[in-house]
Amino acid sequence: MEYIAIIPARGGSKGIKDKNLQLVGGISLLARAINSAKKIESISRVIVSTDSESIIEEAITHNAEVHRRRHLTSSDSAKTIDVIKDIYCDMMLSDEVCILLQPTSPLRQISDIRACINEYEGHHLVNSVVSATLCEHHPYKVVIQDDKGEMVPVRQTSDLEAPRQKLPKALRINGAIYISSFKSLIEHNSFFCHPTRFFEMGENESIDIDSYIDLNRANLIIEGKSL
């Protein structure tokens, strides 16, 4: 089974300028993703998909292949699944398995990637593996607006007062790791190719860089300082 790591790294970012080139522990987010992928023996290729010359330079510096995005997949509204479709065609891929590693998850561990690969290989009926982490706030303790405009519990009122331990375990997708064959991704037009298994990661490892606050927190964790 041949695995190819895909690292989507668009140049533009609204929250943080040059986000994918920001440093955590003195290493850029992009370089961290590339270096992690290169340490996985079963990953044969590491491809960075971008529209940015600065990111291309950083990718080449760290010995990754580069896929230049089309204009349609370079906007902030572009879907990553469409980037995957372009890569599949442009790089003339076939039966390979995609491991999507977003650079905005800098504390993702190599052991997490390996564990996801083991999940994918260990269950022959599974079409995809997606990383997740415990919800900070349980989704059953939420009220939503119904068709009449009223705010109602997402499940039942008693959940709002129930101890968290009494509620079923709830995970949120952390965006760090997605594994599926390229053919399944294209067929389903989604990173959730049924049946999907979810791999649980720790809270710190699941940090997603979307703001300078996130960036600062990641650096504090790397430095071993209290938050």
Domain extent for 160: 136-169
Do 207 and 156 belong to one domain? Answer: no
Amino acid at site 134 = L
Question: CA-CA distance, 118 to 113, in Å (whole number)?
Answer: 9
Task: Render pLDDT for 150-209 as a digit per residue (tens, 0 to 9).
Answer: 999 999 999 999 999 999 999 999 999 999 999 999 999 999 999 999 999 999 999 999
Amino acid at site 37 = A
pLDDT of 227 over the 60 cut: no
pTM of the model: 0.93
Do 182 and 196 belong to one domain? Answer: yes
Question: 226 in a domain, yes or no?
Answer: no
Task: Render pLDDT for 148-158 as a digit per residue (tens, 0 to 9).
Answer: 999 999 999 99
Residue 96: what pLDDT? 97
The count of structural domains within the chain is 2
Do 40 and 102 belong to one domain? Answer: yes
Question: CA-CA distance, 38 to 204, in Å (whole number)?
Answer: 22
List residues bridging with 198 in a β-sheet: 130
The answer for residues whose C-beta is within 8 angstroms of residue 124's C-beta and 6 or more apart is: none
Task: Render pLDDT for 42-97 as a digit per residue (tens, 0 to 9).
Answer: 999 999 999 999 999 999 999 999 999 987 777 777 899 999 999 999 999 999 99
Do 148 and 53 belong to one domain? Answer: no
Do 119 and 92 belong to one domain? Answer: yes
Do 147 and 126 belong to one domain? Answer: no
Question: 227 in a domain, yes or no?
Answer: no
Do 45 and 144 belong to one domain? Answer: no
pLDDT of 35 over the 80 cut: yes
Kindly indicate the confidence band of residue 15, based on its pLDDT and cuts at 50, 70 and 90.
confident
Question: 147 in a domain, yes or no?
Answer: yes
Residue 226: what pLDDT? 53
Do 200 and 98 belong to one domain? Answer: yes
φ and ψ at 176, to 5 degrees? -80, -40
Question: CA-CA distance, 133 to 19, in Å (whole number)?
Answer: 23
Do 122 and 149 belong to one domain? Answer: no
Q: What is the CATH number of the domain that holds 29?
A: 3.90.550.10
Do 89 and 200 belong to one domain? Answer: yes
Task: Render pLDDT for 112-128 as a digit per residue (tens, 0 to 9).
Answer: 999 999 999 998 889 99
Kindly indicate the confidence band of residue 224, based on its pLDDT and cuts at 50, 70 and 90.
confident
Question: 183 in a domain, yes or no?
Answer: yes
Residue 202: what pLDDT? 96
Residue 189: what pLDDT? 96
Do 118 and 53 belong to one domain? Answer: yes
Do 33 and 96 belong to one domain? Answer: yes
